[in-house]
A and B are shown apart, each in its own frame.
Chain A
Amino acid sequence: MNNKTIKNKSNIKALNGGYAMAEALRQIKPDVMAVYPITPQTTIIETFAKMKADGLVETEIIQTESEHSAMSATIGACAAGARAVTASSSQGLLHMAETLPVVSGLGLPVLMCVSSRALSAPLNIHGEHGDVMAVRDFGWVQIFGEQAQDAYDNTIIALKLTEMAGVPVMPIMDGFHTSHTTERVEVLDDEIVTSFVGQRQAENALTDQKNPITIGTLALQSTYFEFKVDQAVAMQKVKTFYKKICVEYAKISGRKHGLLEAYKLKDADHVIVMMGATAGTVKDTVDTLRAQGKKVGLLKINLFRPFPYKEVGEELAHAKNIAVLDRAMAFGSFPPLFQDILTSMQSAGSKKHDIASYIYGIGGRDTMQSHILKVFKDLENGEISKNIKYLQ
């Protein structure tokens, strides 16, 4: 994220990530928001509820009795033609898991703000990506962010993206690190956002009595496969839409977003690949090492689903050693981002690398610069373990 300020178009505020998302939602003006509370998503929905109670937004809020119903009501509202949003975390994402592939399978433009958190058991309410990784294959677009500013920007971008692509989108922030941390956030003027996102133009809507549609059909052996391939194709198209929207968004905000953020990557021999809030800590570490003359760099993935295999493969082609840092556990397998990076290298036909897998920040564990230094040291020493290493 490039923080160049366009003073005249922005208001600078101190907001936490939850508030930043709520602020973006307010400007987006959803017709319906159906939610169920769970830490650390509550900063979003409580802020929004208060905005509504104070007459700052007209959204119909449904305080449901569970996440399964929260997403179900969102489906109903979206299918009815409304701009429909929700928000969740952790156990909530899994409670509604049954409905998630339904949303994507139906091609409903649903926006779900996620504040990511560890999964039970044991119970832990802190930040990590285990929850969003658990639902990564459900046909939802997943956009990661680093700071509260990204939480704000990504929410606006996500809304436009979902309505343009007909694929549901999750802007994701790291629980607590982003959701509960107050930071400087540049907020756009309401009218600018309003005109940027426009109005939802529903192609099919239950409320269109002149064109009665049937949503949620049964597809037999003879047709289901085709629907799914179509869905995969629609997902692939998201990349193009996303890039386009990022360009447009840069125009109104002065802030650049994109599939990836390459930080001092160009000439880097030793590269860390990762997503989310902890990238900030890595950037500081990169600067420290660069100051010592070490050629280290960071590749931060923003668009995780659909995964930009090709672009990643290209960005990393020149690197000597690569460490992939996942903020999610893997049981009986390698972690998701690591596997996606391996796949990227194969996609790019770049087979020379040994790539190391690290897992950090599980259950809200603090990741310190010292951890990152250790990773870079491993890379420098060519210590590429075949096993996962944990930054505990």
Chain B
Amino acid sequence: MTLLRQTGLMLWKDTLLELRRRESLLTMFFFGTLLLFVFNFAFDLAPDKIAGMAPGLLWLAFLFTGTLGLAQLFQAERENHNLDALLLSPLDGGALFLAKAAFNLILMVLVEIVVIPLFWILFNLPAWNLLPQIFLVTLLGTVGFCVLGTLMSAITLRARARELLLPLVLFPLMIPVILATIRCMAEVLRTGQFGDQVAWLRLLLGFDVIFLTAGMLIFDWVIES
């Protein structure tokens, strides 16, 4: 399938560039941990209240860290008119979209794998056995964020003040994901399993599928010069 081959090729190129430039992963990681400390100073986190606020704080950290990643996503394509080089080539718009979304997803998951346990330690939360469910919910939310985020990053690619415009355009659209992930995490922390909040997971899944297909169909026009 040329789509997967091209996506794989783009992912290979992006990871190679990231290993060389080392600008996205480390900055995102340190920014995530920095936010945890800032939250600690910003809110007086009494031990009993922290469990209720944990989902919100975690997701705030991931939203901002992810936005850093999105702002850098098309950086390599901005130099030397490389986006034109890709437009010239028989690269399918959907493959570029998939590759960029997957790349940002990988970066965010790597950050989350470290930040979530770190959050548990720093705020000494008890429920260590719940981490798998927490990771599942975060993963679904991050997929939604990366899919829609890549679309918005591509749309604002040629706008002035695009680092400011990206969150302004993206966050309102992310509200269903934010609500869903925070509700699910709160439920998991409170009762240990999803219970009747499973509807939120279906909403999350629906969100991911809808915007993945919409992105695949529409991306050719987004990057067209």
The judgment on whether A and B are partners is: no
Residues of B within 8 A of A (CB): none
